[in-house]
Amino acid sequence: MAEKIAVAMSGGVDSTVCAALLAKHHEVHGFFMNLGLPDQEEQIARVGRVAERLAIRLEVVDLAEVFAKEIIDYFCRSYGAGITPNPCVVCNPRIKFGRLLEAVRARGIDHMATGHYVRVTHDHKGSHLRQGLDHRKDQSYFLCGLSRKQLQHLVFPLGALSKDEVYRLAGEFGFDHRPSAESQDVCFLKNMGPGDLLKRKTDCAKGDIVTQNGKKVGSHEGVFHYTIGQRRGLGVCDSTPFYVTALDAAKKQVIVGKEADLWHHELLVRTVNWISGIAPQLPARLAVKIRYRHQAAPAELSREGELLRVVFAEAQRAITPGQFAVFYENDEVIGGGEIVTQLPASL
């Protein structure tokens, strides 16, 4: 009798190919997360067509209330506080691999698969999260909040494949997904920018754009319209470009500086998650990513009270509070945590 396995399905090419591959040798049960998004009915219909085509069972799990409370509210609070959140990093351990995995296991299914481009290996120490072999598509950054307990129940069939191979397989399985420019937008924003949502959810108080020495050089419609490193949309002129270097929500200020002001050697991290459940012996030298598209850079990690201090061998550009620092040892994700501050580059 074929082993049962759950697949988190969205109707997109990745989860579709994931389900089709597993259906060759397993009894696949599809699960769709109802997150209460604007196009939810359209998504459910699309996933239903995929499930019907693959002749697999599909179940819709209602997670709209918890998603709104734990992810959308976090998103709005963060921007309102002048930091730039990463809802995908928070959603994965709490919602997709938290509440959804719990629902799957409650149905008597021990393993769940998704279309993430990552790999999991297992040895006597437990489960290890590793980068996808296609480093252009690797999504391990977004899974830094997972635990070994969660990883032991997870399967990632696309981890050794490239995106081109996935599209080829989709065609072989009879699906007409076609290569396209993939959206990097937050799922609940759809065609909105963060400001469109935040105008309805937070205090959009106007304020000043000021230089690092406090000189007013412009005005803004709300700090949540800005993020560290931003150049466009400032409406501030000078002989050389200004960039956003900091946000002060309490003072309603957007602080700007020059390109050189964006570079820093150090940062602090809070709420660190170590995937193994145990921190490595510190200080430790690891590679650190400060955003999804960032090239991991060598750094030394050490304790700073309840925080973790990360000191890079070379200065890094636009370190952004609210984003996540993710720690790698070779191709393995060791852990990660939220960036809470940036420190000036060493002189």
Angle at 192 between CA 31 and CA 82, to 5 degrees: 100
What total number of domains does the chain contain? 3
Tell me, what CATH number does 233's domain have? 2.30.30.280
Is 97 found in the same domain as 42?
yes
The pLDDT assigned to 347 comes to 32
- pTM for this predicted structure: 0.93
DSSP designation for 281: S
Is 168 found in the same domain as 39?
yes
Using the 3D structure, point to which of 223, 242, 257 is the last residue of a domain.
Answer: 257
Q: How confident is the model at residue 181 (pLDDT cuts 50, 70, 90)?
A: very low
Is 150 found in the same domain as 58?
yes
| C-alpha pair distances (Å), 93 with each of 103, 150, 303 | 14, 8, 24
pLDDT at 345 over 60: no
Is 235 found in the same domain as 208?
yes
DSSP designation for 330: T
Element (DSSP H or E) covering residue 180:
none
Is 126 found in the same domain as 99?
yes
Is 91 catalytic? The answer is yes
The pLDDT assigned to 28 comes to 98
Is 18 catalytic? The answer is no
DSSP designation for 172: H
Two tokens at 68?
A: 């709104």
Is 144 found in the same domain as 35?
yes
Expressed as residue numbers, the domain containing 164 is 4-172
Is 96 found in the same domain as 23?
yes
Catalytic-labelled residue, pool 18, 76, 88, 91: 91
Pseudo-torsion of CA 243, 245, 246, 252, nearest 10°? -30
Nearest Cα neighbor of 335 from 344, 324, 345 is 324
Catalytic-labelled residue, pool 144, 187, 204, 237: 187
Angle at 261 between CA 329 and CA 294, to 5 degrees: 30
**Region 138-159: what's the mean pLDDT?**
98
Is 159 found in the same domain as 208?
no
- Tell me the pLDDT tens digit for each residue of 183-242: 456 787 766 667 667 766 666 688 999 999 999 999 998 998 899 999 998 988 888 999
